[in-house]
């Protein structure tokens, strides 16, 4: 049965639809893979074997009853543990939420279930999605299947490790400043951050609400696109959700796979290169850009001068929003409660719980954000950062007046070793350099594997105007087609 794990989601769905395989057998094969590999990978926080098999059986029953199944019915999926799941513990990889069993599903989980996908369990992340390596998880770091001493990226590193290691063909991640794209890049898979407002945030545990977006991971561009279409669309339960048609991303992926980019202009962001970028990353990106030109695209250089300030602006805006969002963890409503005896004051219980429940990085962000929002500093820090955010959006508008998409490395470096960087917050923040501009501007961006540097995967980031997610998928599919294998993930140690 293990051959199932190497197939794409589209292939697996085809087997279920034509009755060649049952959703139960496919699900069991992935559960077995998790059992045999997750002690080394630590990709999952919770595995829901029983629930997954029951969901798979329901899909098999629908097919047996002659129902026409939706496109990804019967395909297993891993869900980041910051997405709320009815009846399944949801922790955000924080001690403060341990034991919390939500009474409802996030909108995207409702959509997954309606589409017949089979949730296998919940994946590891940096606590409340704050980090770039999963080392800020209360459950210990996840590991990269390409090299177990290295990070699978973060914050959605459990999801990226699971897909790269064939534990699941698909996964859900969330991306606030790069948390889908960077882990995809570091594990050799595809990950897309949709246009802000394209996918419902209802039922995502909020980190920075003006930036948070859920999105798909897959080993192929088409798989990511098919999943995108399942989760996208207007949701009245999210006030920032766009009430506009979902871009036709699966069609775009199919068109791109033909490898013809005639008529397209591709802008290379000149600011996202140079010092701090690994030579192997730079050369893989340059070779890919040359390949895009061969496929008919016109290539131009695009300076985006304000991108240089994205890191500083993001690390004020995101902590500011987090300091407000995380105020809800007050020891009264969810999870942990410390020091709750008759003598204790309300304030002492709240302070004790937050001190015991939050990790060091989360506390650091709450303190930075509270400071940046405080009277007397607001204009100098938060207000200033918001102005920079506007300038970054304008850089995108100027650039897109001369090109259809912008490209850059997804990450300045390949997967780094677990350990040293976790000691140095500034060094950890610096790896987000390339992904932050698209987050601040709310534009869609994808990461697609485009080569190797020292035997480790390199990702190309493709950014497009608001609601032109289809362009990201089209160009990504062309890149994928130009590589010999559509699936870079080799998971050599497993
Ligand atoms: N690494 C960034 C941060 O720590 C981005 C995380 C994310 O996108 N959730 O905030």
Are the C-beta atoms of 160 and 189 separated by less than 8 Å? yes
Percentage of the chain modeled with pLDDT above 70: 97
Are the C-beta atoms of 40 and 83 separated by less than 8 Å? no
The tens digit of pLDDT for each residue in 53-65 reads 999 999 999 999 9
Q: Which of 22, 80, 193, 447 is catalytic?
A: 80
What is the number of the ligand 1 atom nearest to the C-alpha of 315? 10
The protein residue whose alpha carbon is closest to atom 5 in ligand 1 is 177
Q: Which of 8, 156, 179, 185 is catalytic?
A: 179
How many angstroms does the Cα of residue 224 sit away from the middle of ligand 1? 21
Nearest to 228 by CA among 409, 438, 442, 470: 470
The tens digit of pLDDT for each residue in 146-192 reads 999 999 999 999 999 999 999 999 999 999 999 999 999 999 999 99
Pocket perturbation via mutation, ligand 1, pick of 82, 125, 206, 318 by most ligand atoms within 8 A of CB = 318
Is 6 a residue of the active site?
no
C-alpha separations of 290 from 220, 252, 254, 373 in Å = 22, 21, 22, 45
What is the number of the ligand 1 atom nearest to the C-alpha of 431? 1
Pocket perturbation via mutation, ligand 1, pick of 130, 136, 213 by most ligand atoms within 8 A of CB = 130
Is 324 a residue of the active site?
no
The tens digit of pLDDT for each residue in 122-135 reads 999 999 999 999 99
The protein residue whose alpha carbon is closest to atom 10 in ligand 1 is 130
The tens digit of pLDDT for each residue in 181-230 reads 999 999 999 999 999 999 999 999 999 999 999 999 999 999 999 999 99
Report CA 312 to chain centroid distance, whole Å: 22
Are the C-beta atoms of 195 and 242 separated by less than 8 Å? yes
Q: Which of 8, 132, 142, 155 is catalytic?
A: 155
Overall size of the chain counted in residues = 494
Domains of the chain: 2-259 (3.90.1300.10)
How many angstroms does the Cα of residue 428 sit away from the middle of ligand 1? 10
Pocket perturbation via mutation, ligand 1, pick of 125, 127, 129 by most ligand atoms within 8 A of CB = 129
Burial group, residue 402, by CB count within 10 angstroms (0-12, 13-18, 19+)? exposed
Q: Which helix (H) or strand (E) holds 302?
A: strand 298-302
How many angstroms does the Cα of residue 126 sit away from the middle of ligand 1? 9
- Give bridge partners of residue 123 from the DSSP assignment: 44, 80
- How many Cα atoms occupy the beta-carbon half-sphere of 402 within 13 Å? 13
How many angstroms does the Cα of residue 212 sit away from the middle of ligand 1? 9
Are the C-beta atoms of 276 and 431 separated by less than 8 Å? no
Ligand 1 pocket (Cβ < 6 Å) reads: 129-132, 155, 175-179, 207, 318, 432
Reported pTM: 0.97
pLDDT band, residue 487 (cuts 50/70/90): very low
pLDDT band, residue 98 (cuts 50/70/90): confident
Between CA 198 and CA 213 the distance in angstroms is 8
C-alpha separations of 323 from 11, 136, 184, 312, 455 in Å = 44, 17, 28, 17, 40
């Amino acid at each position: 049965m293990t051959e199932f794990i190497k197939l794409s989601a589209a292939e697996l769905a085809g087997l279920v639809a034509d009755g060649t395989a049952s959703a139960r057998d496919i699900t069991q094969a992935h559960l077995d893979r998790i059992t045999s590999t997750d002690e080394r990978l630590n990709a999952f926080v919770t595995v829901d074997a029983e629930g997954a098999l029951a969901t798979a059986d329901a899909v098999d029953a629908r097919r047996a009853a002659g129902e026409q199944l939706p496109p990804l019915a019967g395909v297993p999926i891993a869900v980041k543990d910051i997405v709320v799941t009815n009846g399944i513990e949801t922790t955000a990889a924080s001690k403060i939420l341990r034991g919390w069993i939500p009474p409802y599903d996030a909108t995207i989980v409702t959509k997954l279930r309606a589409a017949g996908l089979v949730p296998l369990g919940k994946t590891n992340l940096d606590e409340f999605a704050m980090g770039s390596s999963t080392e800020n998880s209360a459950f210990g770091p996840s590991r990269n299947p390409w090299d177990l001493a290295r990070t699978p990226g973060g914050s959605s590193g459990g999801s990226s490790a699971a897909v790269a290691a064939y534990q699941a063909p698909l996964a859900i991640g969330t991306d606030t400043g790069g948390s889908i794209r960077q882990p995809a890049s570091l594990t050799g898979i595809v990950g897309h951050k949709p246009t802000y407002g394209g996918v419902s945030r209802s039922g995502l545990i909020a980190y920075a609400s003006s930036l948070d977006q859920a999105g798909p991971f897959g080993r192929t561009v088409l798989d990511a696109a098919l999943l995108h279409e399942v989760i996208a669309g207007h949701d009245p339960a999210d006030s920032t959700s766009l009430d506009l048609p979902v871009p036709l991303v699966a069609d775009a992926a199919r068109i791109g796979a033909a490898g013809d980019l005639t008529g397209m202009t591709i802008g290379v962001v000149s600011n996202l290169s140079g010092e701090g970028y690994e030579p192997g990353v730079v050369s893989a990106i340059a070779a890919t850009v040359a390949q895009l030109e061969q496929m008919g695209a016109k290539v131009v250089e695009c300076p985006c001068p304000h991108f240089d300030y994205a890191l500083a602006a993001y690390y004020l805006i995101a902590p500011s929003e987090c300091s407000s969002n995380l105020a809800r963890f007050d020891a009264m409503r969810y999870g942990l409660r410390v020091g709750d005896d008759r003598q204790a004051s309300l304030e002492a219980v709240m302070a004790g719980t937050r001190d015991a429940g939050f990790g060091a990085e989360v506390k650091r962000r709450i303190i930075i954000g509270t400071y940046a929002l405080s009277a007397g500093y607001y204009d100098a820090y938060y207000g200033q950062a918001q102005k920079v955010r506007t300038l970054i959006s304008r850089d995108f508008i100027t650039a897109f007046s001369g090109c259809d998409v912008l490209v850059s490395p997804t990450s300045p470096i390949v997967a780094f070793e677990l350990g040293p960087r976790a000691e140095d917050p500034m060094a950890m923040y610096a790896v987000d350099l390339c992904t932050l501009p698209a987050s601040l501007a709310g534009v869609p961006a994808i990461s697609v594997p485009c080569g190797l540097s020292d035997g480790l995967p390199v990702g190309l980031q493709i950014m497009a105007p608001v609601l032109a997610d289809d362009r990201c998928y089209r160009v990504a599919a062309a890149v994928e087609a130009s590589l010999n294998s559509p699936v870079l993930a080799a998971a050599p140690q497993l």
